[in-house]
Amino acid sequence: MTIRPAAALFAAAFLLAAALLPGMSSSGSAAEYRMSDYRSPTPATVPGARTVTTGEVEELVRNGEAVLIDVYPAPPRPAGLPADSVWIPKARDTIPGAVWLPNTGYGALPDGIEAYFRDNLQRLTDGRHDRPLVFFCEPACWMSWNAALRAVEYGYSTVLYYPEGAAGWEKAGLKLAPLRPVPVGVP
């Protein structure tokens, strides 16, 4: 008889723990986009995508098989800058050969950014939904996780998630290169 109350207590604790894990289902797999606290530990995998290591990304860069997409957010436009002023965000050091599509990893995308993301994925893959896409940002960053999940939902079949990001690339002794973002409105 003491087993039943203990089992009930265990089940209640398990359900409570699952409810407290934002963006996680009770099965332990990601269920939804992360909507806040983007710089925090991420799951090891993205549903529908394959997680890749630095060595695998290095090979993909070497043979040109994949499109590498850095989704690190762009710094905000300086306050007080006149609306008609041209503002170009500072370059970011990232994996050589990558394309920087900033602000595409937020949980909810404004229509303009979602169209920018879709249009650029279409352009970068030449419309091939089977072309490998490697999404990355920085370690413990939900931006790349969200962007990879979004690409899967758009119907891309070879989505690769590189959770170590540019910092992991550099930590492995590989060089970074400066890169400016693809401007919004430029597909």
Tens-place pLDDT, residues 17-62:
333 334 333 333 345 999 999 999 999 999 999 999 999 999 999 9
Angle between helices 142-153 and 111-124 in degrees, nearest 10: 70
Q: Which fold has domain 37-78+85-179?
A: Oxidized Rhodanese; domain 1 (3.40.250)
Number of alpha carbons in the 13 Å side-chain half-sphere of residue 55: 0
pTM above 0.85, yes or no: no
CB atoms within 10 A of CB 47: 14
CB 161 within 8 A of CB 49: yes
Tens-place pLDDT, residues 101-143:
999 999 999 889 999 999 999 999 999 999 999 999 999 999 9
